[in-house]
């Protein structure tokens, strides 16, 4: 079952790259008492994700903060090393909390998996964005296959 607006995010431990190497981070640490703009991508370094999705959130970071967003987070079913390398390769990504769902457990709990075996990528995350307030989903935008519209930074920002 896919997570819905009004649902509380499931408890999970994800990975995040840090200057000292990958570190575990819990959903409580990310979301408790905060307003978070979370967006998910099928894969780091993939064309749409690198050219449009991540840059959109970087470019609009100040606008999200001005509207009360504490954290902008990017989630992918990749390992923390890949997420760290992607952040380093992307100008401005230091202001984005990069989250690795290496095994895809969190993504499965959300009901937002994508079968990307046809592209040689295995099980990944669907492309989506959500606004989360204190662990509760208040906006949810799931892309139709192959599209990039409703999960964009501009679309989520307009919902604030």
The domain locations on the chain are 13-158
Predicted model pTM:
0.95
Is residue 38 within 8 A of residue 73, CB to CB? The reply is yes
Please report how many Cα atoms fall inside a 13 Å half-sphere around the Cα of residue 49, on the Cβ side.
22
| Model pLDDT, residue 119 | 78
Q: How does pLDDT run across 6-40, given as a tens digit for each residue?
A: 999 999 999 999 999 999 999 999 999 999 999 99
The architecture that CATH gives domain 13-158 is: 3-Layer(aba) Sandwich (3.40)
Residue 53 in this model has a pLDDT that exceeds 90: yes
| Model pLDDT, residue 46 | 85
Question: Phi/psi at 147 (nearest 5 deg)?
Answer: -105, 160
| Model pLDDT, residue 33 | 98
Q: How does pLDDT run across 114-133, given as a tens digit for each residue?
A: 887 877 776 889 999 999 99
Query: How far does Cα 107 stand from its chain's mean position?
Result: 10
Question: What's the mean pLDDT in 145-155?
Answer: 94
Question: What's the mean pLDDT in 48-75?
Answer: 96
Q: Which residues are catalytic?
A: 49
Q: What is the residue-averaged pLDDT of the chain? A: 95
Angle at 119 between CA 154 and CA 121, to 5 degrees: 80
């Amino acid at each position: 079952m896919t997570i819905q607006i009004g649902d509380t995010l499931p408890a999970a431990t994800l990975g995040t790259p840090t200057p000292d190497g990958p570190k575990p981070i819990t959903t409580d640490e990310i979301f408790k008492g905060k307003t978070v703009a979370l967006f998910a991508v099928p894969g780091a370094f993939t064309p749409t994700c690198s050219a449009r999705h991540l840059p959109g959130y970087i470019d609009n970071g100040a606008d999200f903060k001005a509207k009360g967003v504490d954290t902008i987070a990017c989630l992918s079913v990749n390992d923390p090393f890949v997420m760290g390398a992607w952040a380093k390769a992307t100008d401005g990504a230091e202001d984005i909390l990069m989250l690795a769902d290496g095994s895809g457990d969190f993504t499965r709990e959300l009901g937002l998996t994508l079968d990307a075996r046809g592209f040689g990528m295995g099980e990944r995350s669907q492309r989506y964005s959500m606004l989360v307030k204190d662990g509760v989903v208040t906006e949810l935008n799931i892309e139709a296959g192959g599209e990039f519209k409703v999960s964009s930074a501009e679309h989520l920002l307009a919902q604030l």
